[in-house]
Amino acid sequence: MERGELARRVFEAGVVGAGGAGFPTHVKLAAEGIDTYLINGAECEPLLTVDQHLMEAEAPRLVRAAASVAEALGATRAVFGLKKKYRRQIDALRAAGGEVAEVGNTYPAGDEVILIQEVLGRTVPEGGLPLLVGAVVNNPETLLNVAEALEGRPVTHTYVTLGGAVASRGVWRVPVGTDGAELLAAAGGVTEDDPAYIEGGPMTGKYRFDPHFPVTKATKGLLVVPRTSALVRYETLDVERMLNQARVACCQCVQCTLACSRNLVGYDLEPHRIMRLLAYGPMGLPEVAKQAFLCSECNLCSGLHACPMQLSPRRVNQVLKARMREAGIRPDFPRREIEPRREQPYRQVPSHRLVQRLGLERYEGPSPFRGDLRPSGDLTVLLKQHAGVPAVPCVAPGQVLEAGALLGSPPEGALGARVHAPLGGQVVRVTPEAVILRPAAAGQEG
Residue 444: inside a domain = no
Residue 222: name the closest of 260, 249, 184 by CA: 184
306 and 289 in one domain?
yes
Q: Is the dihedral of CA 152, 156, 160, 162 positive or negative?
A: negative
Residue 105: inside a domain = yes
Q: How much is the pTM?
A: 0.96
399 and 353 in one domain?
no
d(C-alpha 44, C-alpha 18), whole Å? 15
Name the residue range of residue 417's domain: 379-439
Residue type at 238 in one-letter notation: D
CATH number for the domain spanning 15: value is: 3.40.50.11540
Boundary of a domain, candidates 321, 346, 372: 372
115 and 56 in one domain?
yes
Residue 245: inside a domain = yes
pLDDT for the residue 234: 83
195 and 70 in one domain?
no
Q: pLDDT tens for residues 51-87? A: 999 999 999 999 999 999 999 999 999 999 999 999 9
Q: Which residues of the chain, if any, have pLDDT below 70?
A: 281-285, 442-446
Residue 188: inside a domain = yes
266 and 190 in one domain?
no
pLDDT for the residue 239: 83
d(C-alpha 54, C-alpha 236), whole Å? 32
CATH number for the domain spanning 392: value is: 2.40.50
How crowded is residue 446: how many other Cβ atoms within 10 Å of its Cβ? 10
pLDDT for the residue 283: 47
CATH number for the domain spanning 167: value is: 3.10.20.600
Boundary of a domain, candidates 108, 135, 150: 150
Boundary of a domain, candidates 150, 175, 209: 150
162 and 133 in one domain?
no
Give me the number of domains the chain comprises: 4
Residue 63: inside a domain = yes
207 and 221 in one domain?
yes
How crowded is residue 309: how many other Cβ atoms within 10 Å of its Cβ? 16
120 and 62 in one domain?
yes
18 and 82 in one domain?
yes
Residue 445: inside a domain = no
193 and 126 in one domain?
no
325 and 294 in one domain?
yes
240 and 145 in one domain?
no
